[in-house]
Amino acid sequence: MCDQTFLAITFGPCDNCSQNKPLMNIYLKNEPINYCSLCVELMACQGLAKGETIHTLKAESETLKTKLEEERAKLHDVELAMKTTVFILLVAVVDFSSGDEIIGGYECKPHSQPWQAFLFDNRFLCGGSLINERWVVSAAHCRFSLDRLLVHLGRHNLQTNENTEQEIKVEKIIPFPKYNDSLNNNDIMLIKLKKPVTLNEYVKPIRLPEKCSSEGEKCLVSGWGRTAAGSASVLQCLNLPVLSEETCKSVYGKIITKNMFCAGFFNGGKDACRGDSGGPVVCGGQLKGIVSFGFDCAKPDHPGVYTEVCRYTEWIKSTIAKK
């Protein structure tokens, strides 16, 4: 896809056809999107590959309009991801051959994080945390299709049948009512399972926090992705400290609210990354945070930002009681 096409599809028609450089290639059902530009009054700029001349196709505007609407519908999920703030930890498309990992982490001891959930709807994945037999908490920016979403629990290696897994369909997805997707504020949602999980040594809930995170607190974040060697997709862990609110705001500015905290290392090299979104940040045996966003992954001077779960314990409890 070219830059003007993307801008037009996302924000409306562009102003001229002269700035057409490839933005990215997108394939739907293994078929490439063939439009390289969209301009005023739905005119198309084509012939852009390899320096070819730009041609304006007014006569085909109505045909293009119809085709564009079809492509717009297909691109709905892609647009949602692209329009999100550059700081957001984009939900990863599952591809075990080239997926992301918790950068600088290590393989968790198998089943040492029995609350860890793997959320997958055949398109996107996120992490989550089991908080009781019927409820999982994750990040609101993980945009799933309810009818296709499955919650996997009791897993360590995603490519191996370990006979410890439980796979459960979802009854409800409940984002926090005041979630702001442009600023990623209130980035939390509840997921109600269609049936209770079977609690055992491989599947256990995590406690909600009794108090908020504090500077210097030692925490552990976990999520799935490749190992550094590119081998099997096993659960990755990373130990990291909570940073002060002042430090967090010095990096991200006014985007940081009381509903967030920063954790990580200023020298970079260690961080949660794409595909870890929604996963748990556990401090002292309590769910203190949810993987939310950051500036790229493991970049120096840009620690990760996490949802401050203590700000939502009353909402979580009241929502569960009502539903």
Give the DSSP per-residue string, 155-174. Answer: -SBTTS--S--EEEEEEEEE
Q: Which of 213, 277, 292, 302 is catalytic?
A: 277
pTM, two decimals, is 0.67
Q: Which of 141, 152, 156, 302 is catalytic?
A: 141
Radius of gyration for the chain, computed over Cα atoms and rounded to the nearest angstrom: 21
Distance CA(310)–CA(212), nearest Å, equals 5
Distance CA(137)–CA(173), nearest Å, equals 10
244 is known as an active-site residue = no
* Domains defined along the chain, listed by start: 3-83 (no CATH), 114-205+313-322 (2.40.10.10), 206-309 (2.40.10.10)
181 is known as an active-site residue = no
Q: 253: how many CB neighbours lie within 10 A of its CB?
A: 8
Cβ within 8 Å of residue 212, ≥6 positions away: 261, 288, 308, 310, 311
Q: What is residue 125's three-state secondary structure?
A: strand
277 is known as an active-site residue = yes
Tens of pLDDT along the chain (323 residues) come to 444 444 444 344 434 444 443 433 333 333 343 433 333 322 233 333 333 333 333 334 445 455 555 555 554 444 433 333 322 333 333 333 223 345 567 899 999 999 999 999 887 789 999 999 999 999 999 988 899 999 999 999 988 899 999 999 999 999 999 999 889 999 999 999 999 999 999 999 999 999 999 999 999 999 985 444 444 489 999 999 999 999 999 999 999 999 999 998 766 444 454 447 899 999 999 999 999 987 655 455 578 899 999 999 999 999 999 97
Q: Which of 100, 121, 187, 276 is catalytic?
A: 187
128-152 burial, b at 16+ Cβ within 10 Å, e below that, comes to bbbbeebbbbbbbbbbbeeeebebb
pLDDT of residue 71: 54
